[in-house]
Amino acid sequence: MNKNKLNRLFLILLAVGWLAWSGKPTLSAPPSPSGEPQIMLLPDGLQLVWQAAEPTAVSQPDGTMTLTMPNFGMEQTAGLPAVPTASVLVALPPEATPELLITETAVTERPFPHAISINPQPSGALRDAAGNAIGGDYIPTAQRLVTIPTLSLTEAGVLRGVRLARLTFHPVQLDNGRYQLTETVTATIQFNSPPSASRPANQPDLLQQGVAAQVINPSQLAVSQAQAAPAAKPAATSPTVLIEVDQPGITAVTYQNLLDAGFPVGSVNSTNLQLYYDGLERPLEWFGDGDAQFEAGESFRFYAAPWFNRWMGNDVYTLTEGGSPGSRMGSQSA
Instruction: Give the CATH number, domain containing residue 182.
Output: 2.60.40.3800
CB 268 within 8 A of CB 288: no
Helices (H), the chain: 3-22, 206-212, 225-228, 255-260
| Same domain assignment for residues 159 and 303 | no
The pLDDT of residue 37 is 94
Per-residue pLDDT tens digits for 265-299? 989 999 999 999 877 888 899 998 888 899 999 99
**Residue 215 sits in the same domain as residue 257:** no
Q: Is 27 within a domain?
A: no
Percent of the chain residues topping a pLDDT of 90 = 34
Domain annotation covers residue 332: no
SS3 89: strand
Residues 181 and 252 in one domain: no
CB atoms near residue 229 (< 10 Å): 14
* Co-location of 288 and 186 in the same domain: no
Among candidates 329, 331, 330, 320, which has minimal Cα distance to 272? 320
Residue 121 belongs to some domain of the structure: yes
The verdict on 42 and 118 lying in the same domain is: yes
Assigned domain for 279 exists: yes
Residue 334 included in any domain: no
Amino acid at residue number 183: E
Whether residue 2 is contained in a domain is answered as no
Say how far apart CA 38 and CA 30 lie, in whole Å. 9
Each residue's pLDDT tens digit, 181-240: 999 999 999 999 887 555 554 555 676 777 888 899 998 887 765 544 444 444 456 888
Residues 61 and 105 grouped into a single domain: yes
Instruction: Select the more confidently predicted residue: 177 or 133.
Output: 177
- Domain identity same for 218 and 254: no
The answer to whether residues 177 and 315 belong to one domain is no
Q: 304 and 219, same structural domain? A: no
pTM equals 0.55
Number of structural domains the chain divides into:
2
Residues 280 and 143 both lie in one domain = no
Residue 322 confidence (pLDDT) above 80: yes
**pLDDT 10s digits, 34-76:** 778 999 999 999 999 999 998 998 988 888 888 899 999 988 8
Torsion of CA 209, 214, 218, 220, to 10 degrees: -110
Domain match, 215 and 246 both? no
Say which residues have a Cβ less than 8 Å from residue 120's Cβ, sequence separation at least 6: 78, 138, 139, 140, 141
Whether residue 186 is found in the same domain as residue 46: yes
Structural domain including 208 reads 38-195+204-223
The answer as to whether 7 is a domain residue is no
5 within some domain: no
Q: Closest by alpha carbon to 304, among 318, 323, 289?
A: 318
Q: How far apart are CA 234 and CA 326, in angstroms?
A: 11
